[in-house]
Homo-oligomer: A and B are copies of this chain.
Amino acid sequence: HDLARIWKNYYHGSFQANDVELNKLGIHREGNVFIPKSSYGIILEKKLQPLFESIYKEKKELATYELVWEIGKRLEREKKKEESIIYWAWKNKTYVFVPGITDGAFGFQLWFFWQNKHKDFNINVLKDEQKLSELLWKKIRTGALILGGGISKHHTIWWNQFKDGLDYAVYITTALEYDGSLSGAKPKEAISWEQINKKARTANVICDATIALPLMVASLKERKVI
């Protein structure tokens, strides 16, 4: 989505929309966001295939964090590049690890490229882990701001057990603890795994991230912290 939106627009829709009708109109629904097909699969294919080709010419094997940077670098000429997280990740040399890289439209484009006469193009997911292990075993102070749950939450806290745990952790989620899921698990659970340090400062915010995060950012701005 980060990429699709620098090329095309998404729209504000409704949860109650008739999805059979939307489909006829060529519109995908994500919650209350409407995404025309032309703003998603079609534009991604048109833009990503040549971009992968260009990367492929330079490197045959990449970790996902390297792939993210290579894409970010190639957004330099895009008019709306400054709205892209991927672009800024490259610009600031921020590591972005994607443990589930093959999922979704991006993963599909990746596979589409690979099976089309580029079978020696290799996404080496273990190389990501190698980089994570190097970063974490340096025992630097670490903090995590985690929106939602799933694999990105788990992968983040997982690696921190190999230093002495996260020093700061803020979870913002609507998932709840009672079903025993990792998505709803509170910071204290991670202490039993040494994924969060027992002296860490933590907060568990049960709220839609689209409400909580802007509030937090506004507060930091007001206090001139950012």
Contact = CB atoms under 8 A, between A and B. Distances in A.
Contacts of A206: 176, 178, 208
Nearest to A27: B192
Interface in A166-225: 174-185, 188-194, 198, 206-212, 215
Contacts of A20: 191, 198
A31 interface: yes
Contact of A189 (B19, B107, B150): B19
A189 B30 contact: yes
A98 to B, nearest CB: 10
Given A122-B122, A149-B150, A207-B207, A129 B158 contact: no
Contacts of A158: 103-104, 108
B180 A30 contact: yes
A151 to B, nearest CB: 5
A33 interface: yes
B125 A29 contact: no
A108 B126 CA distance: 9
B126 A180 contact: no
A96 B31 CA distance: 29
Interface stretch (A70-78, A82-90, A110-118): A110-118
A148 interface: yes
Interface string A16-37: 1101101100011111110000
A190 B207 CA distance: 25
7 contacts: A29-B189, A31-B177, A114-B130, A115-B133, A148-B181, A175-B175, A179-B210
User: Which 4 residue pairs are nearest across A and B when measured between Cβ atoms?
Assistant: A31-B180, A111-B129, A150-B150, A19-B191
Given A15-B177, A99-B103, 6 more contacts: A19-B189, A23-B194, A104-B154, A108-B129, A111-B133, A179-B208
